[in-house]
Chain A
Amino acid sequence: MLLFNQLQTFLYLALVLFVIGLYGVLARRSLIAILISVELILNAASINFMAFNRFLAPQPAVGQVITLFIMAVAAAEAAIALSIIVAVYRKLKSINVEQATELRG
């Protein structure tokens, strides 16, 4: 059985990618680094979709279509997040999430 002909390989790979991204979201403090970690998480989801599409799904074109939608939404999310980062930097002179405490009571 070849390594790339098994569903499990891809699922474990997506799991590793997801956990790395999750660690980044939790541990990093720069907003841009958090955005990069979110991109990793989205890619893990895409790999999962494509793996199920390759090995289980009845219509193998549907998973590809859904992965394309994920990419489009990720692009929109990145555009919004980056513009918010630029606005936050202009306001606070920092993109560290621990400095953004204006709403603290």
Chain B
Amino acid sequence: MILLSALMTPQTAATAAFVMVIGLTIVGALIAVGARNIFHNVLGLCVSLFGVAGIFLFLNSPFVALMEILIYVGAICIAICFAIMLSEPLYLPRPPRNKAKVWGASLGAGAIFVFLGLLLKKTQWTPAAQRSTDWSITTIGHYLLTNYALIFELVSLLLLVAMLGAIVTARGGRGKP
């Protein structure tokens, strides 16, 4: 017990939590892309988004982490579940994988992975000379209503238009089948 508490300094505990969060993100993403059943894909996406929220916690932004869970897990995943229910039934047999397509996709994605990875390895990042230490939610609110007020209003307009467009597109006319 004493040995364990000696091993578990705050740093190692935080690192362990961080590795766990990274694992959640990547394993969830792999399930979201790799599983054959579309419902498993959505569940994998949920797991991955929880992991991303944990990463945002490690990046000093609890508010954005909360919004991630609220918007992505709470709204988008549920909306995708509704779309699954309204479209193809799950019991239908799915066509077999197209080998050429899988290989082509892995090749293309792998090429981009190698390119961006080498780019990341080569780049030297320099932080800004003067960095403010103001991370608070109050400041985010001030920014939203002063510097970024126009974008804020545009986003609300965009959401309204998207909502109307979604209703019009999905309804497709009452009379026709």
Contacts and interface: CB of A to CB of B under 8 A. Distances in A.
A71 B71 contact: yes
Contacts of B55: 10, 13, 47, 50
A40 B140 contact: no
A65 interface: yes
Contacts, number: 233
Nearest to A59: B132
Contacts of B139: 61
Contacts of A85: 83, 87
Contacts of A79: 79, 162-163, 165-166
A47 B61 contact: no
A50 B64 contact: yes
A17 B127 CA distance: 24
Contacts of B110: 19
Given A71-B72, A72-B159, A96-B95, A23 B109 contact: yes
Interface in A49-105: 50-51, 53-62, 64-65, 67-69, 71-80, 82-87, 89-90, 94-96
A60 B162 CA distance: 30
A89 B148 CA distance: 39
B29 A73 contact: no
A23 B105 contact: yes
B6 interface: no
A4 B15 contact: yes
B3 interface: no
A27 B99 CA distance: 9
Contacts of A72: 71, 155, 158-159
Contacts of A12: 117, 120
B166 A56 contact: no
Interface in B51-81: 52, 55-56, 58-61, 63-64, 67-68, 71-72, 75-76, 79-80
Interface string B80-108: 10111011100000010010011011101
Given A3-B15, A60-B132, A64-B63, 19 more contacts: A12-B117, A13-B22, A16-B29, A16-B113, A17-B52, A24-B33, A26-B104, A29-B98, A32-B80, A36-B32, A36-B80, A40-B45, A43-B52, A58-B132, A60-B135, A71-B68, A71-B72, A76-B158, A77-B162
29 contacts: A2-B11, A3-B18, A4-B15, A17-B25, A17-B26, A17-B52, A19-B116, A20-B109, A22-B108, A27-B105, A32-B87, A36-B80, A40-B48, A50-B64, A54-B61, A56-B125, A60-B133, A61-B143, A68-B67, A69-B148, A69-B151, A72-B158, A76-B162, A79-B163, A87-B170, A87-B172, A89-B88, A90-B172, A96-B95
